[in-house]
Structure 1
Amino acid sequence: MYRYLLAFLLLTTAAQAQNVEFSKDRFGNDKDGLKAALKEIKAGDEWYEMDPPRYEQALSHYLAAQKFNPNNAQLNLRIGDSYLHSGFKPRALAYLQKAYQLNPDVDPRIHYLLGRGLHLNAKWQEAIAEYKRATPASGSKNTAAFTQDIQKKIKECEYGQKLAAKPTRVFIDNAGPGVNSPYPDYGPVITADESVILFTSRRDNSTGGQHDPETGGFFEDIYQSSRTGQGEWSAARNLGEPVNTDGHDATVGLAPDGQRMLMYMEDNGGDLHESDLRGTQWRKPQKLGSRINSRSHESSAAYTPDGRSLFFVTDKEGGLGARDIYKIEIDGRGPAINLGPTINTQYGEEGVFLHPDGKTMYFSSEGHNSMGGYDIFKSVFENGKWSAPENLGWPINTPDDDVFFVISASGRHGYYSSFRDDGLGSKDIYQITFLGPEKQPLLSQEDQLLASRVQPVKETLLAPPVAIASAQVTILKGTVTDDKTKEPLEATIDVIDNSRNQIIASFRANAQSGRYLVSLPSGINYGIVVRQEGYLFHSENFDLPAGAAYSEVVKDIALKKLDIGVKVVLNNIFFDFDKATLRTESTSELERLQKLLTETPALRLEISGHTDNVGNAAYNKDLSQRRAKSVVDYLVQKGISKDRLTFAGYGDTQPVAPNTTKGGRQLNRRTEFKVTGK
């Protein structure tokens, strides 16, 4: 017994002897080095012991001292603790382990801190063991809160272990030097087609060039980059005034077409503002109203695809947790509605983003089945309620905070910011490429059907292709120009639900480029109407059945002025099959035509019907004429004088596309009007 006790005492003494103090006895031969190291420790302690502590400022001083003496337990502990409160949290573990090795009694918090270090390095079981050994500080009045925190972190490790065992198939790549810099870059927002990215950065060319006195870094500014022809991001430019100010200015949301931006500005505790793009210039941000902003902190927001509602995050009173997600109609009068306990938890929610499909929401939460800090979740609004949030999984989510995630309309690429070893300096923006489920390895498997034969009959079994989940939305984009001059036009694009005869969204083409982008969630028969004062309207039809997969349609539109001989196709006039009976989905288009005639009393039109070349030519001509007459009859019933209208059926004699393809035949089956007088 004595022998074992002696051995234990000797081991303990040896372990304690490894801890090297910063003393003259130990470093008498290098007094200058010792003096410099002690000076660094004193400077670090001043930051570390502030209220609240300034860990990142302390860290640089502690690391300098640690180079002189790497074997001091207390210094290693403080370095580890400082890293736990920095962007590079996983680096804490090595220093905390060394501190414990040098002196197991270095700090009453050591097991908790070791648990955190192990947790942040995804060492799940080891972290759980340390959390179970952790105890509250002596005399602590918050034992219950400490116990609750430990239990939550153990649960996070258990969730993390399960999620890491079945990783999500993704590539995670640095967005590159066009976007990222040696300074912190974060908070990306993108247009639906990924052609433009805006983000927040703390660079040395920030507006005003001042440092934040609390963090020591530069103030936040908003930057913009665009896709080049090679698919890379162009060098990001500072948006400058009036968007960026001398204070903090940060991106939080962007409309799918990139024409409206939501941003955070540091006033009244932190409020949400909106700026819109006119040509190439972002206008001065306007503070959103008191129905959204409060005396509390509003930190992130997202538009619905129609631009009529807003999801936003606030910690105002009355919520379910630290921060909650709310929804509000922008032009309405009612209050913001809390999304409820399916989405919001007793913990914090953050970084809300609504996909252009209008029903899929991404957000970050400290609750649900987070593997640590904030994790990114997905929920879908169907049958009048939000689905249970789904963790996006490992390695997208990590044991650290994963916040402010956005995803392209295609669902193929996501973007967020992270501290990683391949970063360009500090926090960087990364692109996530979703690969879909893994294909089963059956491509070369051969099944021996008759093993008794000398030459067995073999059958090659091919695994079925695995489709990558596709978003149920269509992106319509292009440019609007004058038909003759080809100059871009700042036209209005109305999106109409033909089945309800209702405008559900309105957008504007960019004033300088004429570019527009509209996101169309599947499940609706859409009428698209492009209008500009002094021009005839232009219509398009997109009948997207429920479940229609993602597609991207480029449609350049040339608006025509009202001149004799000009023809306009009425793409949203529909007839019953093989009949001249107008369907109710035609109402909006017919009303537009009626309004045009009412507002232009001298206008005279020929309404004409056209078919493809399938079937009997005489029958097609008769059908097209009867359909044109149905349109005229409708307009006359609505009060338009009959002598202003004529009708004609041309059958297949005036094709606008080859009849050799399905798409060409569809274009030839049309109703149009021609200006015959004005």
Structure 2
Amino acid sequence: MPSFIRLLLTLLLSGTVLGASAQSVAFTKDNFAGNKEGLKAAQRALKDGDEAYLADPPRYGTALTSYLEAHKFNPDNAALNVKIGDCYLNSLTKTQALPYLQKAARLDPTADTRLHYLLARAYHLNGKWAEAIREYQEAKPVAGTKGSDDLAVTSNDLARHIRECKNGEQLMKNPVRAFIDNVGPEINSPYSDYGPVVSADESVILITSRRPADAKAKKDPDGDGYFEDIYQATRKGKAWTPAKNLGSPVNTDGHDATVGLAPDGQRMLVYVENNGGDLNESNLKGNSWSKPLNLGSRINTRFHESSATYSPDGRFLYFVSDKPEGGRGGRDIYKVEIEGRGPAQNLGPQINTPYGEEGVFMMPDGKTMYFSSEGHNSMGGYDIFKAVFEDGKWSEPENLGWPINTPDDDVFFVTSASGRYGYYSSDRPGGLGGKDIYRVTFLGPEKQPLLSQEDQLLASRLQPVKQSVLAPAVEVAVAKVTILKGTITDNNTKQPIEAGIDVIDNVTGQSIATFRSNATSGKYLVSLPSGTNYGIVVRQDGYLFHSENFDLPTTAAYAEVVKDIPLKKLEVGATVVLRNIFFDTGKATLRPESTSELERLQKLMAENPALKLEMDGHTDNVGKPAMNQDLSQRRAQAVVTYLTQHGIGADRLSAVGYGDTKPVVPNTSKAGRQLNRRTEFKVVAK
């Protein structure tokens, strides 16, 4: 190495080291003799900041405000820069810690025994993997202070963070193909917004926000912004309406946060800060949410229950708790039957790690779960993972990857029913302030170019150039679930009705789930995972029931079906199609899958002793008219025979076969012919 270069490097290095310990400026009269009043104000701010910073637990938000005031007066104090960096590391905007900690290291690398560790965390959170690993390797274990082990940093912690950085390096080399878009100012505010939950069809979104609800809103002395409140917005076309505060009785003077939303948007899980933190449930009554009610001691404990999600049938709850009994360490995910009596079950080591799990979300397909974890192959903090329950066990959790996951906490990820879109909160450049809500669009694997051997461009070149022809479009994997939605109305008045909706497994005859349409709008939404023959029954007092059938094979892809249902009152002349009555082709023998529908019909007649019905059979126009007439008569009679064998008087029933003479739609398509092959009843007396 030439001597002048060696000399230059020596001077630069020695200048850096010598200057580092000499550049930290203390808050003393000697350094600020010309500004005594400013110094006093800065010293008061430092004192106020230290009181909050050294409190148990520390009040980082309050401390940061005071420290930043002192920093305006003197930005060159190493210890102050360390404290500001530490406060940011304990805020919702952790990445802002880095420049302060870098400056502290330049001013005085001995300013704080934790400096290497804090600087490593800041590098880590900014995705600077090599720099973070270097600082972690320089850092020493830190003992807990202020009477708490929470602030301790062990050798195991340092080794774990180094593993996270190496995970981050690998994940960043293979980024996920996805669009990550800010949902915009209708939802996000200049304050932190997070915890999104959406209905299965993405028509409703609820979030937790730190924005002020009104001019009288109170700031949270222990955190960023104001006390948490829940806001709601609805989708109009491709745009969201401005998010509105839900108000009382959901929002209170304390913290109120969204946790989960039923697929139909009619029930909401709310986190309430009491008894260590409890889960509550609110129901949508028309246009208003009810007062959240505690979910009870089988779910809530004296420990911290922080997030939850419904199973699509509404029978089970998956929730997160840090209770030590039955746990594996940190927060764990549990499953419990809501109306059952048994205890909650830990999901086990395939999902839960010795570290924390959080933000559980079950997709409407009933088997795909998203959750966040500090374990598995996280790149730092909580990363979002996906696992699928099949053949009685959970799959290996899959990290959603960079850039969806970041080195900071990525939590509370939810998806639409299709799985094509996801929503979560993140602190990213270009946001509106603090954490914002983002929409993820999964693009699937990249299309690979096909090299055509035939289309070679020779055009005056010594070497042939192969023309790249794009491969066929890559299918994006979506959930295998059908969303059935629509509006239930009175057939005569066309007014909305609040009705019960029963979902039946026609093969087993078991009731899978029960829902209700909205009392004001009459709207309903039911998620139907593929792989079941479903009977859908809509019922309300004073009306005849309405039935639909969805036989969804395991391979059935995602679909949305809009079905408006007019309920008919129990009156003479009313007709109802029995869509869950099944016969083999060309036969009049009732198949076992018909049992649930037949039992409903028997119950209707038992509850209305004066009711008399005519059973009508219909066919399509395939085959000879005489054969169709005979088949339809025998099928109608088969229903009558079943009912008389189950206690209904024969004088209350009649059977008529109409063959192909009364089609409801033209017989010009397979779908049309299927609609025309039907069994229905007509009220002849009541």
TM-score when normalising by structure 1: 0.94
Q: Does 1:540 align with 2:548?
A: yes
User: Which of 63, 70, 74 in structure 2 is aligned with 1:69?
Assistant: 74
User: What corresponds to 1:269 in structure 2?
Assistant: 276
Describe how 1:652-671 pairs up with structure 2 within 5 A.
Answer: 652-671=660-679
* In 2, Cα distance between equivalents of 1:187 and 1:101: 38
User: How far did residue 670 of structure 1 move?
Assistant: 1.0
User: How far did residue 289 of structure 1 move?
Assistant: 1.4
User: What corresponds to 1:245 in structure 2?
Assistant: 252
User: What corresponds to 2:642 in structure 1?
Assistant: 634
Q: Does 1:164 align with 2:172?
A: yes
Contact kept? 2:279, 2:294, Cα under 8 Å: yes
Describe how 1:125-140 pairs up with structure 2 within 5 A.
Answer: 125-137=130-142
Letter of the structure 2 residue corresponding to residue 301 of structure 1: A
Instruction: Mark the CA change 1:138 to 1:526 in structure 2 (over 3 Å): closer, same or farther.
Output: closer
Describe how 1:148-547 pairs up with structure 2 within 5 A.
Answer: 148-205=156-213, 209-215=217-223, 217-229=225-237, 231-318=238-325, 319-442=327-450, 445-448=451-454, 461-547=469-555
Letter of the structure 2 residue corresponding to residue 40 of structure 1: A
Q: Does 1:17 align with 2:22?
A: yes
Deviates more, 1:213-222 or 1:433-442: 213-222
Contact kept? 2:141, 2:153, Cα under 8 Å: no
Instruction: Mark the CA change 1:451 to 1:626 in structure 2 (over 3 Å): closer, same or farther.
Output: same
* In 2, Cα distance between equivalents of 1:421 and 1:254: 29
* In 1, Cα distance between equivalents of 2:552 and 2:254: 45
User: What corresponds to 2:574 in structure 1?
Assistant: 566
SS in 2 for 1:227: strand
Instruction: Mark the CA change 1:208 to 1:501 in structure 2 (over 3 Å): closer, same or farther.
Output: farther
Deviates more, 1:60-69 or 1:419-428: 60-69
* In 1, Cα distance between equivalents of 2:298 and 2:611: 47
User: How far did residue 620 of structure 1 move?
Assistant: 2.2
* In 2, Cα distance between equivalents of 1:597 and 1:603: 6
Instruction: Mark the CA change 1:41 to 1:240 in structure 2 (over 3 Å): closer, same or farther.
Output: same
Instruction: Mark the CA change 1:341 to 1:68 in structure 2 (over 3 Å): closer, same or farther.
Output: same
SS in 2 for 1:535: coil
* In 2, Cα distance between equivalents of 1:25 and 1:438: 64
* In 2, Cα distance between equivalents of 1:265 and 1:619: 66
SS in 1 for 2:350: coil
Letter of the structure 1 residue corresponding to residue 100 of structure 2: Y
* In 2, Cα distance between equivalents of 1:139 and 1:93: 23
* In 2, Cα distance between equivalents of 1:621 and 1:458: 66
Letter of the structure 2 residue corresponding to residue 463 of structure 1: A
Instruction: Mark the CA change 1:138 to 1:280 in structure 2 (over 3 Å): closer, same or farther.
Output: closer
User: What corresponds to 1:58 in structure 2?
Assistant: 63
Letter of the structure 2 residue corresponding to residue 120 of structure 1: L
User: How far did residue 595 of structure 1 move?
Assistant: 1.4
Letter of the structure 2 residue corresponding to residue 396 of structure 1: I
Letter of the structure 1 residue corresponding to residue 320 of structure 2: V
| Count of matched residue pairs | 674
User: How far did residue 39 of structure 1 move?
Assistant: 3.6
Query: Which structure 1 residue ranges, 5 or more long, are not aligned?
Result: none
Deviates more, 1:501-510 or 1:454-463: 454-463
Instruction: Mark the CA change 1:234 to 1:6 in structure 2 (over 3 Å): closer, same or farther.
Output: closer
TM-score when normalising by structure 2: 0.93
Cα offsets for 1:336-389 (capped at 9, x unmatched): 111111111111111111111111111111111111011111111111111111
Identity of counterpart residues, as a percentage? 66
Contact kept? 1:208, 1:245, Cα under 8 Å: no
Instruction: Mark the CA change 1:400 to 1:458 in structure 2 (over 3 Å): closer, same or farther.
Output: closer
Q: Does 1:147 align with 2:151?
A: no
Letter of the structure 2 residue corresponding to residue 90 of structure 1: T
Instruction: Mark the CA change 1:323 to 1:529 in structure 2 (over 3 Å): closer, same or farther.
Output: same
Instruction: Mark the CA change 1:570 to 1:411 in structure 2 (over 3 Å): closer, same or farther.
Output: same
* In 2, Cα distance between equivalents of 1:174 and 1:12: 43
Contact kept? 1:207, 1:221, Cα under 8 Å: no
Cα offsets for 1:385-419 (capped at 9, x unmatched): 11111111111111111111111101121111122
* In 2, Cα distance between equivalents of 1:279 and 1:646: 42
User: What corresponds to 1:48 in structure 2?
Assistant: 53
* In 1, Cα distance between equivalents of 2:40 and 2:272: 44
User: Which of 622, 635, 638 in structure 1 is aligned with 2:630?
Assistant: 622
Instruction: Mark the CA change 1:263 to 1:629 in structure 2 (over 3 Å): closer, same or farther.
Output: same
Contact kept? 1:206, 1:220, Cα under 8 Å: no
SS in 2 for 1:429: strand
* In 2, Cα distance between equivalents of 1:490 and 1:415: 30
Instruction: Mark the CA change 1:25 to 1:52 in structure 2 (over 3 Å): closer, same or farther.
Output: same
SS in 1 for 2:240: coil
SS in 1 for 2:405: coil
Cα offsets for 1:507-556 (capped at 9, x unmatched): 11111111111011110000000011111110000000002111001100
Q: Does 1:554 align with 2:558?
A: no
Query: Which structure 2 residue ranges, 5 or more long, are not aligned?
Result: none
Cα offsets for 1:256-286 (capped at 9, x unmatched): 1111111111222211111211111222222
Cα offsets for 1:406-463 (capped at 9, x unmatched): 1110112111112223222222222111111111133xx4424799999999998541
Letter of the structure 1 residue corresponding to residue 96 of structure 2: R
